[in-house]
Amino acid sequence: MDLISFPEMSRGSLRAMRQTIDGAFRDFTRAWGETLEAIFSPLQSLLTFLENLLIHSPWILVLAAISLGIWLLSRSWRIVVGAVVALVAIGYFGMWEDTMRTIAMVAVCTLIAVVVGIPIGILMAQSKRTNAVVTPVLDMMQTMPSFVYLIPVVMIFGLGKVPGVIAVVIYAIPPVIRLTNLGIRQVAPDVLEAADAFGSSDWQKLRDVQLPLALPTIMAGVNQTIMMSLAMVVVASMIGVRGLGQPVLQAINQQYFTMGVMNGLAIVAIAIIMDRTTQAYGHRLQKHSEVRK
């Protein structure tokens, strides 16, 4: 008996299997593709609207609005000044439009990740069974090479923004789900008992106790989600998402070193701004834990 080569399925049946599955998926795409596109079209409109708003408004207004937003979240002049300097440099080096597209993309992806992810995290924290089902799915989403799920997404939606958003959200949503779950589970049991003893309903307990106490942890998840969406911009540019990823991709193909580095640094700059801003916001949420008045 041959112990060296592994006993494989015959090539014929393997091919037949692949063809059957591919065929079935293609049929599914033909039958449902347009419906799915219609369902996701509001996403397309939202993203386009935000992009246009950022690109076609006077740059000085955009810069002012972004600075104001950062100030409101972080209450830190250092972060605001750093952000303004970085954005002015980005604009001066001719990357303003691509940067705005990337910011719009990350904003929409983060919004979706939060809107979808936090409720899933809450459900996981409430029920052991949901936790047992969702955890392996999250593991898969985080380890599956992103190119693999780009294939079916592109088959259904074609190239463009919507498949880009879907791919980014799949890649970036796990942290916000996991940390929402963790944050709620970490709430001290004696505080929960007090909430019960005073007659809280489940909803009141969630609203008054669990979510507020989990919020700093949830914010850490949102921060991770933003970072991961930014990391995914370059990959998403392969399926037609415009923004800072595209020039990077172009630079790889044509070996433009400076172009690659500049756009790469722009991504890093945005990442640092968003990271510091959300972290500062997370710290502010924990103000009550400071000992001094």
Q: Which residues bind other proteins (CB under 8 A)?
A: 188, 190-191, 193-194, 196-201, 204, 208-209, 212-213, 288-293
Task: For residue 277, give the H/E element and its range.
Answer: helix 257-285
- Comparing CB distances to other proteins, the nearer of 123 and 285 is 285
- Comparing CB distances to other proteins, the nearer of 43 and 280 is 280
- H helix and E strand count, the chain: 12, 0
Helix (H, G, I), strand (E, B) or coil at 200: coil
- Comparing CB distances to other proteins, the nearer of 64 and 188 is 188
Backbone phi, psi, residue 205, to 5°: -65, -40
- Comparing CB distances to other proteins, the nearer of 128 and 292 is 292
Q: How far is the CB of 129 from other proteins (least distance, A)?
A: 18
Residue 152 CB-density burial (10 A; 0-12 exposed, 13-18 middle, 19+ buried): middle
- Comparing CB distances to other proteins, the nearer of 54 and 187 is 187
- Cβ atoms within 10 Å of 169's Cβ, excluding its own: 23
Task: For residue 21, give the H/E element and its range.
Answer: helix 11-56
Q: How far is the CB of 180 from other proteins (least distance, A)?
A: 17
Residues 6+ apart with CB under 8 A from 239: 150, 153, 154, 159, 160, 163, 164, 167
Q: How far is the CB of 204 from other proteins (least distance, A)?
A: 6
- Comparing CB distances to other proteins, the nearer of 210 and 263 is 210
C-alpha dihedral (152, 156, 158, 161), degrees to nearest 10: -90
- Comparing CB distances to other proteins, the nearer of 110 and 180 is 180
Q: How far is the CB of 203 from other proteins (least distance, A)?
A: 11
Q: Are the C-beta atoms of residues 274 and 226 closer than 8 Å to each other? A: yes
Q: How far is the CB of 49 from other proteins (least distance, A)?
A: 36
Rounded Cα distance between 162 and 238, Å, is: 13
Task: Tell me the CA distances in angstroms from 153 to 90, 141, 222, 279, one per residue in order.
Answer: 32, 14, 24, 32
Task: Tell me the CA distances in angstroms from 285 to 160, 198, 224, 265, 274, one per residue in order.
Answer: 37, 25, 17, 30, 17
